[in-house]
Amino acid sequence: MDVSLFITCYNDTLFPETGKAVVRVLERLGHTIDFPRDQTCCGQMHWNTGYLREAVPIIRHFVEVFRDAEAVCIPSSSCVAMIRDHYPKAALESGDASFIADVDALLPRVWEFSEFLVKKLGVEDVGASYAHRVTYHASCHSLRSLHLGDVPMRLLRNVRGIELADLPSIDRCCGFGGTFAIKNADVSSEMLGEKMASIQETKAEVCTAVDNSCLMHIYGGLHRQRTNVRTAHLAEILASEEARA
Partner 1 sequence: MSAGSELNWPDRAFPTAAKELLQNTQLRRNVRHATDVIMRKRAHVVNEMSDWEALRESGSAIKRHTLRYLDTYLVQFEQACTAAGGHVHWAADAAEANAIALSLLKAKSATEVIKIKSMTTEEIGLNRSLEAHGIHPVETDLAELINQLGEERPSHIVAPALHKNRHEVRDIFARTMHLDSIGDRPEDLTEVARQYLRAKFLRVPIAISGANFLIAETGGVCVVESEGNGRMCLTLPDTLITIAGIEKVIPRFQDLEVFLQTLPRSATGERMNPYNSIWTGVRQGDGPQEFHVILLDNGRSAILHDHEAAQTLKCIRCGACQNTCPVYRQTGGHAYSSVYAGPIGAILTPQLYQLERGSSLPYASSLCGACYEVCPVKINIPEVLIHLRGQVVAREQATLTGELGPWNLGMKVAAKIFASGDRLALAQHLGRIGQKPFVGKDGFIDHLPLMLGGWTQSRDAEPLPPQSFREWWSKREKKDPAQKGGGH
54 binds partner 1 (CB under 8 A): yes
217 makes contact with partner 1 (CB under 8 A)? yes
Pair type for strands 133-136 and 163-165: parallel
Q: Which of residues 130-169 bind partner 1 (CB under 8 A)?
A: 140-141, 143-145
Which CB atom, from 162 or from 195, has the smaller least distance to partner 1? 195
**Candidates 115-123, 130-138, 170-178, 234-242; binding stretch for partner 1 (CB under 8 A):** 170-178
CB 130 to partner 1: min, Å: 21
Residue from the set 4, 76, 77, 188 that interacts with partner 1 by CB under 8 A: 188
Site string for partner 1, 69-108 (x = CB under 8 A): ----------------xx----------------------
List the one residue from 77, 83, 176, 232 that touches partner 1 (CB under 8 A).
176
Q: Which is nearer to partner 1, 45 or 151 (CB)?
A: 45
Q: Which C-beta is closer to partner 1: that of 16 or that of 157?
A: 16
| Long-range contacts formed by 149-155: CB under 8 A, 24+ apart | 151/114, 151/115, 151/118, 151/119, 152/114, 152/208, 152/209, 152/210, 152/234, 154/118, 154/124, 155/114, 155/117, 155/118, 155/124, 155/126, 155/234, 155/238
Pick the closest to residue 219 from 12, 9, 18, 5 (CA basis): 18
Residues 55, 163: Cα–Cα separation, whole Å: 41
| Binding region for partner 1 (CB under 8 A) out of 129-137, 176-184, 199-207, 233-241 | 176-184
